[in-house]
Structure 1
Amino acid sequence: MVQIIELEGAMVTLDAMSCQKQIVKTIVKKKADYCIAVKKNQKSLYQALQDAFELSDSNEPGHLEQEHGRVEYRAYDVLSALELPVSIRSAWSSLETIGRATYYRLANGKEQMQYRYYISSARLSAEQFASTVRAHWGVENRLHWVLDVTMREDDCPISRGHAADNLACFRHVALNQIRREKTIKASVNRKQKMATMSEEVLDLIVNA
């Protein structure tokens, strides 16, 4: 997908599934920056990121956020990619910054602590890194989560030819139309159900 999109000057954020050397190389070639989550099954890179932050003696302050209304904290820390071994750093095009997002939550008396690691071609401050990660998860929560949970995209078994891509396009169009329709005060899921039972509601959504 990144091969056909105009990316010059953009910051491309991707989840861990897309943390691949060829994707990173393509983004850089198109004169854009990347900030990509690293998955645990990339053992050497993931371990190198863990070690870099655990061994770091950096005095640079991170960026801390507190969730209002509940006990939840998020901390964002960044280091120069120079903290990584040369063999790891050189494998990723234009790697400049590594980041760690720490999530702490207290719910029902139970504590949860989670770390996520990122690599980026941009020289990011902790605050810039935090903003970039938040922006990515905003898209995930508003778009991909809805497509999966409400439209059951991940459960679709159709994969022959271009069928999966075509259906994904139709789902995006449907979701956009449902959100454009403002006269019905209901959730996306509720509007879908209403459209299956009323041609009047369906017409409102189609013509929104």
Structure 2
Amino acid sequence: MDPGHGRIETRTVRATPLLTCHDRWTGLKHGSRITRARMVKGVTTVEVLHGITSRPVERADARALLGLVRSHWRIENQRHDVRDVTLGADACRVRKGAAPQVLAALRNAAIHRLATVPADRTPEALE
């Protein structure tokens, strides 16, 4: 149970070695299913995630698999949230020529520069 951010969230993790029969993925060891039930302001939502890993079963029990998934999202949020949400990269429709790479470089430069501005949050630094 995770009561952070004003919500109650429970997670159930099941790992299975049954996916090893798939020879299309070299090194595949097993799969997992994580079920997350979240209650926010009395409304419950359920999300099911499926994953595969090359980690040996002895290094990827349910707790380790959950930790891997949670650390993935922590990295995603830290690295991409500013670019995608604050700077609007996801909404950008530029697709031709070198323009997408140029805009990405400009966003990266802006993120680097924003890191030097004293502010509690990145959106505040943009003001």
- Normalised to the residue count of structure 2, the TM-score between the two structures is 0.82
Cα RMSD after superposing both structures? 1.9
Match of 2:2 among 55, 58, 67: 67
Are 1:98 and 2:31 matched, yes or no? yes
Are 1:131 and 2:62 matched, yes or no? no
User: Which letter does structure 2 place at the counterpart of 1:159?
Assistant: R
Describe the SS at the equivalent of 1:73.
strand
User: Which letter does structure 2 place at the counterpart of 1:136?
Assistant: H
Describe the SS at the equivalent of 1:100.
strand
Give 1:131 deviation, angstroms: 1.5
Describe the SS at the equivalent of 2:111.
helix
Contact 2:20 2:28 in 1 (8 A): no
Are 1:108 and 2:41 matched, yes or no? yes
Identity across matched positions, percent = 27
How many angstroms apart in 1 are the aligned matches of 2:121 and 2:9? 26
Are 1:159 and 2:95 matched, yes or no? yes
Give 1:165 deviation, angstroms: 2.4
Give structure 1 stretches of 5+ with no counterpart.
1-65, 194-208
User: Which letter does structure 2 place at the counterpart of 1:103?
Assistant: R
- 1:86-109 Cα distance to aligned partner (Å, 9 max, x none): 3xx111221112111211111222
Bigger Cα displacement from structure 2, 96-105 vs 141-150: 141-150
Describe the SS at the equivalent of 1:101.
strand
Q: Partner residue of 1:169?
A: 105
Match of 2:124 among 183, 190, 193: 190
Alignment of 1:144-155 (within 5 A): 144-155=80-91
User: Which letter does structure 1 place at the counterpart of 2:8?
Assistant: V
Contact 2:15 2:62 in 1 (8 A): yes
- Normalised to the residue count of structure 1, the TM-score between the two structures is 0.53
Describe the SS at the equivalent of 1:176.
helix
Of the two, which has the highest radius of gyration?
Answer: 1
User: Which letter does structure 2 place at the counterpart of 1:75?
Assistant: T
Give 1:170 deviation, angstroms: 2.4
